[in-house]
Amino acid sequence: MTEELKHWVGGKKVAGESGRFADVFNPATGEVIARVPLASRAEVDKVVKNAQEGFEVWSEMAVPKRASIIFRFRELLVQNQDKLAEVLGREHGKTIPDAKGEIQRGIDVTEFACGVPHLIKGEFNQNVGGNIDLYSIREPLGVVGGITPFNFPVMIPLWMGVMAVACGNAYVNKPSERDPSSADFLAELWTEAGLPDGVWNVVHGDKEAVDALLEHPDVPAISFVGSTGVGEYIYQHGCANNKRVQAFCGAKNHMVIMPDADMDQAADALIGAGFGSAGERCMAISVAVPVGQATQDALIERLAPKVEALKIGAYNDPEADINPLITVQAKERVESLITKGVEEGADLLVDGRGARLQGYEGGFFVGATLFNNVSREMDIYKTEIFGPVLSVTKPQSFDSAVQMINDHEYGNGVAIFTRDGDSARAFSKRVDVGMIGVNVPIPVPMAFHNFGGAKRSKFGDTQMHGPESIRFFTKMKTISSRWPSGIKEGAQLAFPTND
């Protein structure tokens, strides 16, 4: 029997009532392994009401006590890392080492959040005039929503949710309906850690549930991670409903290889960053930009055999390099983009279409694919492919490489490989991209720094985790205070100054 998943509301599992469900697949076999309920507006409303009750309790709890519960949750994440990697891998398809890496990045943010008593501290000035002390404090917003994508089903709900909860909010996660079980697992761990009921909730669903959150009068803020089209809609619709919204979206990340770079290191970096997680990462490198013809030749000579050697496989196959894509539609889309690249005139050096694996004939696999001589006009250059496809562009100059990057609609991550500090410095200054790597192909900042892209890779001003998350998930209050002994006699009608 196919397992029927449940929402997580008020500290317990709650069956879906809408009668609508979506199938959840094991991408390695193509089999349906679960059905996830798709919440109605009325169900979302119930979740928000429950979360408000959780918020009343949680926001009144002393901050160090809140931190100790987060600390316990961190311990449970560490203890359950293997189980969580299994749940994640089965539905997402990524390999166990990759899943553990993702979980670790979620643990990192949880560790950062344990310092919330320090992070949330306000500001104080004594006697700013007339014996008045002036102080600013950060208060939670209330019930906040987190709408998360399929490609990091543990890390991203944690990146936003742990910071939201650390700041004293209640959190409603609407995870991807394609790999929803990890979100339920996290919610159970929170309850085990002692989080009051209703503070961390999971409502499964699709556009109907998302719209219900976006329009709900008792949800003041929404954090979103996903594709650009959906993110732009969420940002605009959420703002139109007077919410604070941040949306982290699609990407096309370039890596520039300078003629002085160590070519073996550069090729290895491209294999890891281009094909890890089958390219289904917002920080994947999908475009390699060689500076000069000799660089292109040296790179291709090293890359092609390495790409050829990459093996497709299921999440629990220790030999696997390339996991299956999330759905059969994703597989078909990526394969049709490869066909488009051939029609557009790019040189297809390694073709991953039609990949088959014995015993996994129904799996959604696309093999590692390498294009050479890709140009700026081609669809395969412009589009976020989100699959195991690496495009090497025609040789560029340093200036034209920077121009290409700045002209692209996305600006999430970028990297340069070089031994020359001047080039690296000029590059970091000139590119309009949120996260830059110098000889670091996947420059995802650590939890105590901020994460976020530029241009159409992000909507809204604030970034994910780091100090900016404290700003996003709190509102500021400023209090001017004095005591009767400091008040001068008589009414003062002129506008107050610091005399």
Does 150 engage in binding with ligand NAD (CB under 6 A)? yes
Of the residues 10, 16, 37, 250, which one makes contact with ligand NAD according to CB under 6 A: 250
Q: How far is CA 155 from its chain centroid?
A: 7
Residue 423 or 457 having the CB closest to ligand NAD: 457
Of the residues 171, 185, 200, 248, which one makes contact with ligand NAD according to CB under 6 A: 248
Does 282 engage in binding with ligand NAD (CB under 6 A)? yes
Region binding ligand NAD by CB under 6 A among candidate stretches 84-92, 143-151, 336-344, 368-376: 143-151
Region binding ligand NAD by CB under 6 A among candidate stretches 53-61, 108-116, 130-138, 146-154: 146-154
Residue 418 or 463 having the CB closest to ligand NAD: 463
Q: Among this protein's residues, is 282 annotated catalytic?
A: yes
Region binding ligand NAD by CB under 6 A among candidate stretches 50-58, 148-156, 253-261, 473-481: 148-156
Does 16 engage in binding with ligand NAD (CB under 6 A)? no
Region binding ligand NAD by CB under 6 A among candidate stretches 13-21, 242-250, 354-362, 372-380: 242-250
Does 148 engage in binding with ligand NAD (CB under 6 A)? yes
Residue 365 or 386 having the CB closest to ligand NAD: 386
Residue 102 or 197 having the CB closest to ligand NAD: 102
Does 174 engage in binding with ligand NAD (CB under 6 A)? yes
Residue 45 or 211 having the CB closest to ligand NAD: 211
Kindly state the smallest distance separating residue 60's Cβ from ligand NAD, in Å: 31
Does 457 engage in binding with ligand NAD (CB under 6 A)? yes
Among residues 329, 337, 414, the alpha carbon closest in space to that of 381 is found at 337
Q: Which residue has the tokens 């910071």?
A: 163
Distance CA 59, CA 168 (A): 5
Distance CA 366, CA 304 (A): 17
Does 325 engage in binding with ligand NAD (CB under 6 A)? no
Kindly state the smallest distance separating residue 392's Cβ from ligand NAD, in Å: 21
> How many residues interact with ligand NAD (rule CB under 6 A)?
26
Kindly state the smallest distance separating residue 214's Cβ from ligand NAD, in Å: 8
Of the residues 91, 98, 384, 468, which one makes contact with ligand NAD according to CB under 6 A: 384
Region binding ligand NAD by CB under 6 A among candidate stretches 70-78, 150-158, 317-325, 333-341: 150-158
Distance CA 448, CA 350 (A): 39
Closest chain position to ligand NAD (CB): 226
Does 222 engage in binding with ligand NAD (CB under 6 A)? no
Of the residues 227, 236, 383, 406, which one makes contact with ligand NAD according to CB under 6 A: 227
Considering only residues 151 to 170 of the shown chain, the ones binding ligand NAD according to CB under 6 A are 151-152
Of the residues 453, 465, 473, 474, which one makes contact with ligand NAD according to CB under 6 A: 453
Kindly state the smallest distance separating residue 177's Cβ from ligand NAD, in Å: 5
Of the residues 116, 147, 298, 378, which one makes contact with ligand NAD according to CB under 6 A: 147
Active-site residue, selected from the candidate residues 114, 167, 249, 282: 282
Amino acid in the structure at residue 253: N
Of the residues 177, 197, 335, 468, which one makes contact with ligand NAD according to CB under 6 A: 177
Does 322 engage in binding with ligand NAD (CB under 6 A)? no
Helix/strand/coil (H/E/C) assignment for every residue in the chain: CCEECCEEECCEEECCCCCCEEEEEECCCCEEEEEEECCCHHHHHHHHHHHHHHHHHHHHCCHHHHHHHHHHHHHHHHHCHHHHHHHHHHHHCCCHHHHHHHHHHHHHHHHHHCCHHHHCCCEEECCCCCCCEEEEEEEECCEEEEECCCCCCCHHHHHHHHHHHHCCCEEEEECCCCCCHHHHHHHHHHHHHCCCCCCEEECCCCHHHHHHHHHCCCCCEEEEECCHHHHHHHHHHHHHCCCEEEEECCCCEEEEECCCCCHHHHHHHHHHHHHHHHHCCCCCEEEEEEECHHHHHHHHHHHHHHHHHCCECCCCCCCCCECCCCCHHHHHHHHHHHHHHHHHCCEEEECCCCCCCCCCCCCCCCCCEEEEEECCCCHHHHCCCCCCEEEEECCECHHHHHHHHHHCCEECEEEEECCCHHHHHHHHHHCCCCEEEECCCCCCCCCCCCECCEECCEECCCCECHHHHHHHCEEEEEEEECCHHHCCCCCCCCCCCCC
Of the residues 230, 370, 389, 405, which one makes contact with ligand NAD according to CB under 6 A: 230
**Buried b or exposed e, range 52-69, using 16+ CB within 10 angstroms:** ebbbeebbeeebeebbeb
| Active-site amino acid positions | 282
- Where does this chain bind ligand NAD (CB under 6 A)? 147-152, 174, 176-177, 206-207, 210, 225-227, 230, 248-251, 282, 384, 386, 412, 453, 457
